[in-house]
Structure 1
Amino acid sequence: MRRRAEDWTRQLVAQPSVTNTAGEGAFGPWLRRELLKLPYFAERPDQVWLEKTLHDPFERFCVCALVRGQDRVAATVLLTGHYDVVSVSNYGELEALAFSPDALAAALPSVLSAETDALALADLASGEYLFGRASLDMKSGLAAGLALLEEWAESGERGNLLFVAVPDEEENSHGMRSLVRQLPDIERIHELKLLCALNLDAEVDSGSGELGRSVFLGSVGKVLPTALLLGRPTHAGAPFDGVSAALLLAEVLRSVELHPDLMDPHPSEPGPPPVLLQLSDLKPSYDVTTPPGMWCAFNMLLRSRTPEQALAQFRAAVEAGMTAALENIAERARACGAAAEMNSEGMPTLTYAELLERVEKRGGTAALRRLEALARAAAPELDTPRLCQQLTLAAVQEAGLTGPAAVIGFGSLPYPAVELGQDAGSLALLSAVEAGIRAAEAQFGVKVTARPFFPGVSDMSFLSQEDPQSTSAKLLRANTPAWTVRMRLEEETGERLSLPVVNIGPWGRDYHQRAERVYQPYAFEVLPQLLGAVVRARLSAG
């Protein structure tokens, strides 16, 4: 399967399917045409089709290809991954070559530095890596799935393979969030029983490949806790007449950023601490008045803790930082011989849901409708965190809230943490993974490791769905200001499919960077065979 995996990788990489561009929209129809050239699908064109993504401002498609086994059983394994890619602007003068691996490899030495890019240059000289945008993330993973699909079509083995390539993982996972709502109908129409899903995303390994050769039995979750920190603006010449929003921010950062107490305490693999992803003041222009407030957003990964627990931890940290800031201001005022009355007892830290209660109490349903209208009007112009910021600011004004105070919430699409459970389907998939690893190790003489969590957020989060009526789901909805305009798919109450899922993909280095590259021996030789061994083991178990 090596030749097929490499050929598919090169064909897929050549397609400029950057997220939210015409290239992404064109990819689905292109891949369908390519699949219809294969003898199996040329004879069965109804087994390759496009699913248009739901509630999507862009026209793009999930590409579905079904290969049936020798006997018409329902048992089916889903192979899936995303085909959208990040921007190529960071290639600079080589941007035009980003989707041409050979031309890019020839040109890269002219822009790489022996001091800062020694590993990339060594990998280039080795000939063992294929360079190019999405060579790693994640078109070589899709290519391994397609190589297995071709082999399955020729072998006539028992059981079915459903390959689905989805758009938009890089921004909002819109493709997968749409697909899980379309899979129930796909099952019924094609008389399938989906047993599990194998996601084909890539891992990064800057060493020998020992970490890269991994099967992930789950995927981390993510929330983006936000804080709007309201001070009291004052003239720069009389700083102690107000409350410095900048100092509030500084102390909140000290309480949250990289704090070990805010790590997820999962017993097998504790998560990293939170890191700041966004901050801004709220001044539209320059003057000598201190900022009225500051906005910040943090990346917080989830393994075992729930969104409720994450928000409670974040709230406690924000409250501690706000209290420390007021104490700091009072101490510095005394040192400067100024008077500053600072009392933290009446200083509120509200969730966005609690803020909306104040809005309704003060302005009634008319005020809530004004916020809803703002959300609809601003949604086309702003990304989700900025939209959440503007809606929080508007709600503060509607509520008449003044500083010092804090409003916390969530500022992006939540990614639920997923891991294999103790149900029969999960245990059967785990057994298949273990059998597949043993087969690959015996065939290729390399060690493959099963690890608990894929370290980056992934589409896996949406293949194993939690109950939309759960406490966590309700909390997220109530405290994400942009929810109703950004998470329309989550607002739907229709059927959605939930499957046990693991990640089995290639490894390489520097994804999303100009030296992005995939390690070819593993991606083209080991990975397709490993996938095949896992699929056979799972289908043979019934």
Structure 2
Amino acid sequence: MVSNREEILSMTNELVAVESVVNTKGEMEIADFLNKKIASLPYFQQHPSFVVKSQTIQDEVERYNVLAFVKGTKTKSNKTVILMGHLDTVGIDDYAHLKDIACKPNELMQALQDESLPELVKSQLKSGEWHFGRGALDMKCGVASHFSLLKYYSEHPEELAGNLLLLAECDEEDSSHGVLSALKDLKRLRDEQNFDYIALINSDFVAPRFEGDENRYIYKGSIGKLLPSFFITGHETHAGSAFEGLDPNFLAAELTRQISYNPDLVDDAFGEFPAPPVSLKQTDFKPSYTIQTALSAYVYYNFFIQSWSPKDVLEKMKEQADIAFDNALNTLTQRHRTFCERSGESYRELPWKKRVFIYEEMKELLEKEHGEAFINHMKEFKEKLLQDKSLDTRMFAARVVEEEWKWMTNKSPAIIIFYSSIYSPCVEVTGKNEKEQKLLAALEQSVDEIQPTYEYPIVIRNFFPYVCDMSFMAMSDDEEGIQAVCENNPSWGTKHYVNYQDIRDINVPSINIGPYGYDAHNKYERMELTFSTEIVPEITNGVIKRLLG
């Protein structure tokens, strides 16, 4: 046994105690804490250059990753296994009156005894086998598990035929600046230390997939994520003359009805089904109340992928926008006719026609029509827009499309489709090369070794289903797929940029062995102690030993 429950739980509590909400100074504080903790270990006192706190690059927020490595002495080998985990958490406002103790697990659990709790939460709290607190599950226990393994092998490097590298990264919960910056550090270490990255073990949380599910999951690879976005223009009118205009909110509502929860838009692969698309924002751009209908609306959807490319998704979104536009116009025509029949007004055919553009189609049209004047104007507009720090990448992209729309000669209602956020590529680990084959064999053997000692089934699945930074450690997309992302994100190269070549340069097969629990991103966030602090480090170590033994 290379680690123990009490040690990992204690480290988890120390990490949770640092309130490291994403995009706050807490991300600096927790990196500083972990860096000092690692640097204080005897091995790293002897090798101070083997631990580094590295600031993120091209980032509007000051924050840091922590990287540390142990060089094995069993036999000379360049083989290197990466242990990865994120240090940031989501916010704590959902804890309401318990907010001040959200990061103090023992005090929080004591206070929860007096709360009115759902039955499952109440029974798990009373059992003593569950640990509560912001970040305990997602994913500071996973980082604590990795730390315990790094600490053990720093004390026993003679047991390693290769190297063990810890990457504790920031900004996983928002824009992945941490992992994208860390790629540069990993490439530098690879070149300086001659590391050969053969596997990555992430330790993000796992959870039941359905009510009554008692399986504990391990994932080989990760789901991909896109954010297809729609700028919708209408034709304004006074509300007293409703049928003289076309309300963009009406089109947006039909688009959401067509896309949200649509099982036909689920990209299943290997018999696994991710969640269907769902709207994450729907709004119009009216700054304040008037009795005039809105000029434009904006909606975007979470979209998981397992085999489709970003180009495939754009084409599917255009099909759905076509259907939604047709449905909206048909409904509007029917309602107009019925209104005229009831009111006695004379019926006339409405003038609206379907118009749907993929962003690069509209941009090409505008550049062809307006040339350098348009190109230069938009360059200046984006530079000025960057000064508004209140805009995230999603709203920045929408404002760019809104400005470009003003240059359209034909301003009749339309839907423009684009991407407005980071693309997290899908990662498959199927045994397609020797590194993947060895990693999968090591994982399966480690699970088989541990399973008889643990009462619940440990099940290996293909895609981590919640989105994580494993997506930026390997990539299977071809150039056409990546170009679809670059050409159709209006903030690309200004507010937003990803060097996908960095990902290809690392390209390490990745798996996830993480703490088990419920309600990540929720005030009842909690982890099961036995699996999270005992089984997770044991399986992880089993993989390490088989790869570097």
Please tell me whether residue 480 in structure 1 is matched to residue 481 in structure 2: no
Tell me what 2:380 maps to: 373
Distance in 2, matches of 1:162 and 1:42, equals: 17
TM-score (norm 1): 0.94
Question: Structure 1 residues 491-500 or 278-287, which shifts more?
Answer: 491-500
Q: 2:354 aligns with which of 332, 347, 352?
A: 347
Q: What residue number does 1:132 align with?
A: 133
Map Cα deviations across residues 343-376 of structure 1 (whole Å, 9 max, x no partner).
66x5321111111122213332222222233223
8 Å CA contact retained: 2:207, 2:217: no
8 A Cα contact 2:427 2:476, kept in partner: no
Structure 1 residue identity aligned to 2:40: K
Structure 1 residue 495, shift from structure 2 partner: 7.7
* Rounded Cα–Cα distance in structure 2 between residues aligned with 1:495 and 1:415: 13
Q: For residue 96 of structure 2, what is the amino acid of its counterpart? A: G
Pick from 215, 219, 223 the counterpart of residue 218 of structure 2. Answer: 215
CA distance in 1, matches of 2:280, 2:212: 30
Q: State the 1:279 CA deviation.
A: 0.6
Could you give the per-residue CA deviations for residues 167-220 of structure 1, whole angstroms, max 9, x where no partner exists?
Answer: 000001111111123211111212321111001100123767733x22101111
The structure-2 alpha-carbon separation of the partners of 1:401 and 1:393, relative to structure 1 and needing over 3 Å to count, comes to farther
Question: Could you say which residue in structure 1 is the equivalent of 2:472?
Answer: 462
Aligned with 1:195: secondary structure?
strand
Q: Which amino acid aligns with 1:210?
A: E
Measured after TM superposition, the shift of residue 446 of structure 1 is 4.2
Given candidates 536, 543, 546, the residue that maps to 1:527 is 536
Which stretch shifts more, 45-54 or 128-137?
Answer: 45-54
Q: Pick from 455, 462, 465 the counterpart of residue 452 of structure 1.
A: 462
Alpha-carbon distance in structure 1 between the residues aligned to 2:417 and 2:10: 49
Paired residues of 1:216 and 1:503 also in contact (CA < 8 A): yes
Q: Does 1:82 align with 2:82?
A: no
Residues paired across the two proteins, number:
534
Does structure 2 retain, via aligned residues, the 8 Å contact 1:409–1:479?
yes
**Would the aligned equivalents of 2:105 and 2:131 in 1 still touch at CA under 8 Å?**
yes
Cα distance in 2, alignment partners of residues 435 and 209 from structure 1: 24
Q: Could you tell me which amino acid in structure 1 is paired with residue 459 of structure 2?
A: T
Residues in 2 aligned to 1:133 and 1:536: alpha-carbon distance in whole angstroms? 32
- Match of 1:353, as an amino acid? E
SS in 2 for 1:334: helix
Q: Are 1:35 and 2:38 matched, yes or no?
A: yes
Q: Kindly tell me: are residues 492 and 450 of structure 1, through their superposed partners in 2, closer, same or farther at Cα, counting changes over 3 Å?
A: closer
| Alignment root-mean-square deviation, CA | 1.9
Give the Cα separation in 2 of the matches to 1:528 and 1:359: 56
Is 1:437 aligned to 2:438, yes or no?
Answer: no
Shift of 1:414: 0.8
Q: Aligned residue for 1:311? A: 314
The Cα of 1:27 is off from its aligned counterpart by 1.9
Shift, 1:326, TM fit:
1.1
Aligned to 1:499: 508
1:296 paired residue number: 299
Structure 1 residue 230 and structure 2 residue 238: aligned?
Answer: no
1:238-258 deviation digits (Å, cap 9, x = unpaired) = 111122323222222222111
1:539 to 512, 537, 548: 548
Q: Which runs of 5+ in 2 are unaligned?
A: none
- Residue 197 of structure 1 contacts residue 502 of structure 1 at CA under 8 Å; is this kept in 2? yes
Contact kept? 1:181, 1:494, Cα under 8 Å: no
TM-fit CA distance, 1:65: 1.3
Equivalent position of 1:98 in the other structure: 102
8 Å CA contact 1:420, 1:426 repeated in 2: yes
TM-score by length of 2: 0.93
Q: Give, in angstroms, the shift of residue 531 of structure 1.
A: 0.4
Q: Match for 1:385: what amino acid? A: R
In 1, Cα distance between equivalents of 2:351 and 2:449: 66
- The equivalent of 1:23 in structure 2 is 26
> Residues 496, 55 of structure 1: CA spacing in aligned structure 2 closer, same or farther, 3 A cutoff?
farther
User: Which one-letter code corresponds to 1:375 in the other structure?
Assistant: K
Alpha-carbon separation, structure 2, partners of 1:398 and 1:91: 47
Q: Is this contact kept in 2: 1:77–1:162, CA < 8 A? A: yes
Which residue of structure 2 lines up, in the alignment, with residue 73 of structure 1? Answer: 77
Matches within 5 A, 1:39-50: 39-50=42-53
Q: Which residue of 2 aligns with 1:413?
A: 422
Looking at structure 1, the residues matched to 504 and 127 of structure 2 have their Cα atoms a distance apart, in angstroms, of 50
For 1:341 and 1:86, locate their aligned partners in 2 and report how far apart those are by CA, in whole Å: 51
Can you give the 5+ residue segments of structure 1 that lack an aligned partner in the other structure?
Answer: none
Q: Which amino acid is 1:434 matched to? A: E
SS at match of 1:484: coil
Greater alpha carbon shift after TM alignment, 503-512 vs 247-256: 247-256
Q: How does 1:182-197 map to 2 (within 5 A)?
A: 182-197=185-200
Letter in 2 for 1:50: K
Q: Residues 343 and 317 of structure 1: is their aligned pair in 2 closer, same or farther, counting only changes over 3 Å?
A: farther
Residue 366 (structure 2) aligns with: 359
Distance in 1 of aligned mates of 2:544 and 2:485: 35
Counterpart code for 1:382: L
Give, in whole Å, the separation in 1 of the partners of 2:323 and 2:143.
47
Q: Is the 8 A contact 2:35 2:52 kept in 1?
A: yes
1:149 corresponds to 2:136: no
Structure 1 CA distance, aligned partners of 2:486 and 2:89?
Answer: 29
Residue type of the partner of 2:102? Answer: A
- Counterpart CA distance in 1 for 2:300 and 2:257 is 14
Q: Is the 8 A contact 2:231 2:296 kept in 1?
A: yes
After TM superposition, the structure 1 = structure 2 runs for residues 192-271 of structure 1, keeping only pairs within 5 Å, are 192-205=195-208, 210-211=214-215, 213-271=216-274
Aligned identity (percent) is 31
One-letter code of the match for 1:146?
F
SS of 1:465's equivalent?
A: coil
Is the 1:203–1:508 Cα contact (8 Å) retained in structure 2?
A: yes
Query: C-alpha deviations, 1:109-150, integer Å up to 9, x for none?
Result: 33x324xx2221211111111111100000000111111112
Does residue 514 of structure 1 match 2:527? Answer: no
Contact in 2 for aligned 1:98/1:132 (Cα 8 Å): yes
CA–CA distance in structure 1, aligned partners of residues 211 and 355 of structure 2: 48
The residue that corresponds to 1:63 in the other structure is 66
Cα distance in 2 for partners of 1:305, 1:495 equals 19
Letter in 2 for 1:137: D
Change (3 A) 1:244 1:341: farther
With 153-162 and 470-479 compared, the bigger mean Cα shift is at: 153-162
- Matched position secondary structure for 1:171: coil
CA–CA distance in structure 1, aligned partners of residues 463 and 476 of structure 2: 18
Greater shift, 72-81 or 360-369, is seen at 360-369
